């Protein structure tokens, strides 16, 4: 079911009930298929029509429309997409797009109509190759070699290398601009941790099928591979890299969605995170949770969420 916390309308969906903190949007019916592998391609997506972006604020932007691919920062590739017709007023919102664990940075573009929605809503896209990171703040002696995705831990890389590079090179992700995030699965966890580590930079984010309280997934090999076992290193599991444990610090408007048939990340991960954020912040921060009956951990679900995601992002005013 879809729950949106704040002072807007209540909108029933075909497969969910909604308590909406933003204006209602037209969303496709919930998927009814069971969970599939994470690389299942999106099916039968309709290309959206052009729509002028709103509530944006970027100055002195000079990039050329289209793709710039295989760019590098600290030997990590990233792609940049600038939508056509972004206007002469130098106004352009930006979306940092995070893939799932060991997903290519191109997987969003190849399996979902992300570019069509970026064109429709007028968003630049930044797609870094995040490989096998949990967006950890640091490595430990117990961190296994296979989980050291880069010489710099993922969360530190985003904060200290990627963001400053994008600001300097492309004049995007600057403070005061309309900076937003989208992530799926482990990338959804990344959205939460990046928001917590950069609390004034992003005006809104969306996390699909993410995980936020690793202590409730004690047999998760990815978590153990980075942080060591919960029994030995409970402070690591419940500390800086635990989004739910840091809910009191939360500042960013957030759209959450999760399929009830997700066999990779339990739906309870998003539901508990939403409930915890709502407990701390009530209606002071726009929060949305869409629990989609029958949806799995796949691009059929993630691609089907994009219209709701972009509608949510475009409604959020930049911080002053």
pTM listed for this prediction: 0.81
d(CA 5, CA 193): 21
Q: pLDDT tens, position by position, for the chain (320 residues)? A: 555 554 333 333 333 333 333 333 443 333 333 333 333 333 333 334 333 333 334 444 557 899 999 999 999 999 999 999 776 545 689 999 999 999 999 999 999 999 999 999 999 999 999 999 999 999 999 999 999 999 999 999 999 999 999 999 999 999 999 999 999 999 999 999 999 999 999 999 999 999 999 898 887 899 999 999 999 999 999 999 999 999 999 999 999 999 999 999 999 999 999 999 999 999 999 999 999 999 999 999 999 999 999 999 998 744 44
Map out the domains of the chain with their CATH numbers.
2-314 (3.40.50.1820)
Q: Provide long-range contacts, Cβ within 8 A and 24+ apart, for 13-17.
A: 13/290, 15/292, 15/293, 15/294, 16/290, 16/291, 16/292, 16/293
Q: How far apart are CA 243 and CA 319, in angstroms?
A: 22
Query: In whole angstroms, what separates CA 29 from the centre of its chain?
Result: 21
């Amino acid at each position: 079911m879809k729950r949106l916390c704040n002072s807007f309308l209540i909108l029933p969906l075909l497969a969910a009930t909604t308590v909406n903190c933003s204006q209602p949007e037209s969303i496709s019916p919930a998927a009814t298929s069971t969970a599939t592998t994470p690389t299942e391609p999106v099916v039968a997506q309709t290309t959206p029509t052009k729509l002028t972006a709103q509530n944006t604020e970027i100055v002195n932007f000079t990039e050329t429309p289209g793709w710039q691919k295989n760019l590098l920062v600290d030997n990590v590739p990233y792609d940049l997409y600038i939508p056509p017709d972004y206007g002469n007023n130098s106004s352009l919102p930006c979306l940092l797009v995070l893939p799932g664990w060991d997903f290519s940075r191109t997987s969003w573009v190849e399996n979902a109509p992300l570019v069509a929605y970026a064109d429709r809503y007028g968003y630049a896209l930044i797609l870094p190759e995040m490989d096998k990171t949990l967006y950890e703040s640091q490595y430990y002696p117990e961190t296994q070699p296979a989980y050291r995705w880069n010489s710099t831990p993922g969360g530190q890389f985003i904060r200290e290398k990627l963001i400053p590079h994008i600001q300097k090179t492309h004049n995007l992700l600057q403070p005061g601009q309309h900076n937003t995030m989208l992530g799926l699965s482990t990338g959804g966890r990344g959205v939460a941790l990046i928001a917590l580590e950069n609390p004034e930079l992003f005006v809104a984010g969306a996390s699909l099928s993410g995980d936020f309280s690793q202590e409730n997934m004690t047999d998760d090999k990815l978590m153990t591979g980075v942080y060591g076992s919960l029994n030995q290193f409970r402070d690591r599991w419940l500390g800086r890299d635990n989004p739910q444990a840091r809910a009191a610090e939360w500042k960013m408007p957030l759209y959450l969605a999760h399929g009830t048939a997700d066999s990779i990340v339990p739906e309870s991960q998003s539901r508990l995170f939403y409930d915890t954020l709502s407990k701390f912040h009530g209606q002071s921060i726009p929060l949305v949770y869409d629990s989609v009956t029958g949806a799995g951990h796949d691009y059929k679900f993630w691609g089907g969420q994009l219209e709701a995601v972009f509608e949510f992002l475009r409604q959020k005013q930049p911080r002053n």
